[in-house]
Chains A and B, each alone.
Chain A
Amino acid sequence: MQFSSFDADYVRNLCAGDRRTQEHFVGYFTELLQLKLRSRLQSPHAIEDVRQETFARVLSVLRKDGGLRQPERLGAFVNTVCTHVLFEHYRSKTGGESLDVEGRPELPDKSASALDIVAARQIKDKVREILLGLAPRDSSLLKAVFLDERDRDEVCREFGVDRDYLRVLLHRAKQEFKTEYEKRVGNQMAMGANA
């Protein structure tokens, strides 16, 4: 079964502990949760805590009878749970207190495989190729924004460009990278047969 969208079968397999479904679930939502959380939490430990708590609560709800009435909205449900966990994290007095509770179902940790290492190498090469293909001004612009983390408006003024230029620059680089990325990593997000 190739993953195309979340549905009742997917949720059923996830709740049943099917390893491949669980690996897919973790792999698919980990990155999205990290993107959501990194702009809100400074500590990598806090990000990891919130991520794991989110997965745990989602599975808990899914395993209840009538837990998720709309399986196709699994993604939105994960986002909502993450938002609640995040608010609890903000409200907690220490902020760094682990939310881990014993007895919760553990999800498989996705370790890097040999294929992952090869894919990472190929992705690195592709990014390098794209960066070398940029005009020096454009690569300096990206460096100032993403590496030096300078104020966007100040950088745009300095380089004589507007925000649209910056957006389009990123868009084009992303589009050029997308084919390679999808080839190397996108398949990992698709479930194989007999899932």
Chain B
Amino acid sequence: MDHSEAVQQMAAERYLLDELTPDAREAFEEHFFDCRECALDLRTGAAFVEEAKAQLPGLAGARPAPVPSRSLKIKREWWLSWLQPAFAAPAFAMLLLVVGYQNMITLPALRDSANQPRLLPWAPLHGATRGAPLAIAADRRHGVALPVDLPPQPSTGTYASYSFDLYDPQGKLAWTGAAAAAADDAGDAQRLSLVIPGAMLRNGAYTVAVTGIAAHGERTGIDRYVFNLHLTD
């Protein structure tokens, strides 16, 4: 064994830990008797081990308790406080309630509304010019269905599509939609149904503005419908 092998193999540590095979031990002994560096290395390790053996038994009582830094302590406390039973138990109970409500009430209702036929209050709209705003009663559970009668086109193909703008009681644009113009001959009125879900409904005056859009993009106001919504729930 030469010096580089002894260093690479951590021969001194292996020797002190009694890990060397008999041949390796003899080879290392032959080396360190001749190598001042390895001899010092081994003697250092042996001296450390001997002294450590004397001191280790009495060390447990002398070891100072680790004191975390203040910021770390505060950070640990902040984290830990949320995991204490006093906080964790009510938090988990609340979480369970929310999850349960969503799974038992909210999601089934949403599935039903998407997959099942519904009966909705129906209130035909009149144009604003035809008289006082229409009073409509509705509830948040069902929403409201508003049939819109589009007047016949002046001539076939005047409008390629229609734009519908819904303004809420604050006058803000709450929704905008479009529908293609019927391909029928002019002279026939087109009827559509505007369904407003209950979640959108507020008490007050709503306006539906209908705009005809020509094929080349020109927009022409057709009608405005105003209705006073009264929520029953």
What residues make up the interface of A, taking CB atoms closer than 8 Å to B? Answer: 4-5, 28-29, 31-32, 35-36, 39, 73, 75-76, 78-80, 83, 123-124, 127-128, 130-132, 136, 139, 142-143, 145-147, 152, 163, 166-168, 170-171, 173-174, 177-178, 181-182, 185-186, 189
Contacts and interface: CB of A to CB of B under 8 A. Distances in A.
A171 B13 contact: yes
Interface stretch (B28-36, B103-111, B223-231): B28-36
A79 B35 CA distance: 12
A142 B42 contact: no
Contacts of B56: 131, 139, 142-143, 146-147
B13 A163 contact: no
B13 A170 contact: yes
B12 interface: yes
B55 A171 contact: no
A189 to B, nearest CB: 8
Contacts of B17: 145, 152, 163, 166-167, 170
Contact of A31 (B12, B29, B46, B62): B46
Interface string B1-20: 00000000010111111110
A46 B198 CA distance: 101
Contacts of A124: 51, 55
Contacts of A166: 17
A57 B65 CA distance: 55
Given A139-B56, A166-B17, A174-B12, A181 B47 contact: yes
Given A76-B34, A78-B33, A79-B29, A177 B47 contact: yes
Given A142-B56, A166-B17, A127 B51 contact: yes
A127 B62 contact: no
B57 interface: yes
B147 interface: no
B102 interface: no
Contacts of B26: 83
B52 A131 contact: yes
Given A147-B53, A174-B44, A152 B29 contact: no
